[in-house]
């Protein structure tokens, strides 16, 4: 938060101090560091009360945008770290709270979790974490809870200090941060060792990965432009168009290079889906479920001159897609509002050389970036999503021209949403056959030829892609 400056002339005996309007509760009165912490509590509470996506809240909030680079980095770490470790944080707090944390107002509950995260994971000094939490309780007008907050957090800090003195820092197994049903699912599908590796990866901080816009420069040239604005990068391991941001990453979204569409934020695995597609006929392309537009603009860059139609639902998703197309200079792409589970008149009787279906999914492959999903997902979601994915494939199959490709991709690695969906489709559609991704990295390709990088392999999200060729 920016601090409100006093009138310097009034302090030195110059012109009299003018009457000031009431200051916002988050201004001068805040102890140092409360600003990003208060915003963190607001963001965290919004994930619960408004079902907000934390990363989108952080990117769109004007107060967050006004923070310094260091405060913005702190804000992001606090929000995503508290979401990832919500379950063990709640377990720790239950030992010091006089009432169930689930019964507390969302702002108070997240304020306590945030302070616990600082005490237990960031090793913030107890006085700083406790005092800022008490002040935030005051800012939210919860004066009845000041003593409650102070007492509980001081007990937690003392307990943590005793535990460290007795046995040194103790890290709970990563699986304890995950819902029971999810770790059971991982064990059933991948075995104990792989399940525990997945759990450890799921609570880590992912890299910020960029895809350069090759229509506006080379990878080295765009990296140099970013460096001029203080954003250090290094090339991705597999994607020839990818950069991983390092020092100065917080400056990216305010940079002129980003505003000019020289790059897009896109995980390396998502880049490889388009880069490693097998050859397909020289014809039009359909990007189904296209928002927010990362793969759409990538296809536009890789296949210039092709007709490219990008479809997604009207409203927020179409607005996201349109914004990405404008920024990346892909004005020739036709953005078409429509729900592909219903007839779309503009697509009637049309066929395409490539149909890319980036299907709605659980997002478990990108769980590091959207940790609020750990609480929202249930076991019942997987069969429901798989049914919708199968229905979308059914709708799109007639739109693939003979010899063309139907590429099915999801940012998930559960069997229900990946191989089971594809195998079921192929069994009922003999006109289609599986085709191997044309990758130069066999470790990312399954025995069936599908694209299947595991979570956190070379920093990537877990992803799945299958290429289905229509027989000609």
Which contacts of 222-225 are long-range, i.e. CB under 8 A and separated by 24 or more positions?
Answer: 222/257, 222/262, 222/263, 225/257, 225/262
Read off the pLDDT of each residue in 216-225 and give the average, rounded to a whole number: 98
Burial 210-248 (b: 16+ CB within 10 A, else e): bbbbeebbebeebbebbeeeebebeebebbebbbbbeeb
Nearest of 375, 268, 416 to residue 54 by alpha carbon: 375
What is the residue whose two structure tokens read 């920016």? 2
Dist. CA 352–CA 376, nearest whole Å: 36
Region 314-325 average pLDDT: 96
Burial of 287 by CB count in 10 Å (0-12 exposed, 13-18 middle, 19+ buried)?
buried
Whether pLDDT at 12 is above 50: no
Structural domains present in the chain: 21-172 (1.10.940.10), 173-203 (no CATH), 208-265 (3.30.70.1170), 272-470 (3.40.50.150)
β-pairing verdict for 334-337 and 352-358: unpaired
DSSP annotation of 451 reads: B
As a whole number of angstroms, the distance between CA 199 and CA 178 comes to 7
pLDDT for residue 174: 86
376-394 confidence digits (pLDDT tens): 999 999 999 999 999 999 9
pLDDT at 27 over 60: no
Residues 111, 136 contacting (CB under 8 angstroms): yes
The number of residues making up the chain comes to: 472
Q: What is the pLDDT of residues 285-319, one digit of tens each?
A: 999 999 999 999 999 999 999 999 999 999 999 99
pLDDT, one tens digit per residue, over 30-61 is 444 468 999 999 999 999 988 889 999 998 89
401 pLDDT more than 60: yes
pLDDT per position as a tens digit, 152-161: 999 999 998 8
Give the residue among 428, 343, 425, 353 at the shortest CA–CA distance from 389.
Answer: 425
Work out the pLDDT band at 168, boundaries 50, 70, 90: low
Q: What percent of the chain has pLDDT over 70?
A: 92
Residue 4 has pLDDT above 90, yes or no: no
Output the pLDDT for position 170.
55
| Average pLDDT value for residue range 250-262 | 95
Residue 236 bears catalytic tag: no
Residue 18 is predicted with a pLDDT of 32
65-74, Cβ contacts within 8 angstroms, sequence gap of 24 or more:
65/253, 65/254, 66/1, 66/2, 67/1, 67/35, 67/36, 67/39, 69/248, 69/250, 69/251, 70/250, 71/1, 71/35, 71/36, 72/36, 72/250, 73/250, 74/33, 74/36
pLDDT value for 21: 33
* Cα 420 to Cα 413, 435, 461, distances in angstroms: 11, 16, 20
Nearest to 409 by CA among 282, 284, 240, 296: 296
Q: What are 210's strand-pairing partners?
A: 243, 265
pTM (two decimals): 0.88
pLDDT over 50 (residue 324): yes
**Percent composition of the chain: helix, strand, coil (DSSP 3-state, to 5):** 50, 10, 40
Cα–Cα distance measured from residue 466 to residue 435, given in angstroms and rounded to the nearest whole number? 8
Rounded Cα gap, residues 265 and 465, in angstroms? 20
pLDDT of residue 15: 31
Is a pLDDT exceeding 50 seen at residue 175? yes
Distances (CA, A) of 318 to 44, 321, 408: 26, 5, 21
Residue 326 has pLDDT above 50, yes or no: yes
Please say whether the beta carbons of 359 and 329 come within 8 A: no
- Per the CB < 8 A criterion, the answer to whether 401 and 353 are in contact is yes
Catalytic residue, candidates 236, 263, 361, 411: 411
Beta-carbon contacts of residue 178 (< 8 Å; ≥ 6 apart): 87, 199, 202, 374
208 membership: H or E segment, kind and range: strand 208-212
**Please, which residues bridge with residue 235 across strands?**
243
Dist CA 289 CA 341 (whole Å): 11
DSSP per-residue codes, 77-132: HHHHHHHHTHHHHHHHHHTT-SS-GGGS-HHHHHHHHHHHHHHHTS---HHHHHHH
pLDDT at 38: 96
Nearest to 195 by CA among 214, 178, 211: 178
Mean pLDDT across the chain, nearest whole number?
A: 91
């Amino acid at each position: 938060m920016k601090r409100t400056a006093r009138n310097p002339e009034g302090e030195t005996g110059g012109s009299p101090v003018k009457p000031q309007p009431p200051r916002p509760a988050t201004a001068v009165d805040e102890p140092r560091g409360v600003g990003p912490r208060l915003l963190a509590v607001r963001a965290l509470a919004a994930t619960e009360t408004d079902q907000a996506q934390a990363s989108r809240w952080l990117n769109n909030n004007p107060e967050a945008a006004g923070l310094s680079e260091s405060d913005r980095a702190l804000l992001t770490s606090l929000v995503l770290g508290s979401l990832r470790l919500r379950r063990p944080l709640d377990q720790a707090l239950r030992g010091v709270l006089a009432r169930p944390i689930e019964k507390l107002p969302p702002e108070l509950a997240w304020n306590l979790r945030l302070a616990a995260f600082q005490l237990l994971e960031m090793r913030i000094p107890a006085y700083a974490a406790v005092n800022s939490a008490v002040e935030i309780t005051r800012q939210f007008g919860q004066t009845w809870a000041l003593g409650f907050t102070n007492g509980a957090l001081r007990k937690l800090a003392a307990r943590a200090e005793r535990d460290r003195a007795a046995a040194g820092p103790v890290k709970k197994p990563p699986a304890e941060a995950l819902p029971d049903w999810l770790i059971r699912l991982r064990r059933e599908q991948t075995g104990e060792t792989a399940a525990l590796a997945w759990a450890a990866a799921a609570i880590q901080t992912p890299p910020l990965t960029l895809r350069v816009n090759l229509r506006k420069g080379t990878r080295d040239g765009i990296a140099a432009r970013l460096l001029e604005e203080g954003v250090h990068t290094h090339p991705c391991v597999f994607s020839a168009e990818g950069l991983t941001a390092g020092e100065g990453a917080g400056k990216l979204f305010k940079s002129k290079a980003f505003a000019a569409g020289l790059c897009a934020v896109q995980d390396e695995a998502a880049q490889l889906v388009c880069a490693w597609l097998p050859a397909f006929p020289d014809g039009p392309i359909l990007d189904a479920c296209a928002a927010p537009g990362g793969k759409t603009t990538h296809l536009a860059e890789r296949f210039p001159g092709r007709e490219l139609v990008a479809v997604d639902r009207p409203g927020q998703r179409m607005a996201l897609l349109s914004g990405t197309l404008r920024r990346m200079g892909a004005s020739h792409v036709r953005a078409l509002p429509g729900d592909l589970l219903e007839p779309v008149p503009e697509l009637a009787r049309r066929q395409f050389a490539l149909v890319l279906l980036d299907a709605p999914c659980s997002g478990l492959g990108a769980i590091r970036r959207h940790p609020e999903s750990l609480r929202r997902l249930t076991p019942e979601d997987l069969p429901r999503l798989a049914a919708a994915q199968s229905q979308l494939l059914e709708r799109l199959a007639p739109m693939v021209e003979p010899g063309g490709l139907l590429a099915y991709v999801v940012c998930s690695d559960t069997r229900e949403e990946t191989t089971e969906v594809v195998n079921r489709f192929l069994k009922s559609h003999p006109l289609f056959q599986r085709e191997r991704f044309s990758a130069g990295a066999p470790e990312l390709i399954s025995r069936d030829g599908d694209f299947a990088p595991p979570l956190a392999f070379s920093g990537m999200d877990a992803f799945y892609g299958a290429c289905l060729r229509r027989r000609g």
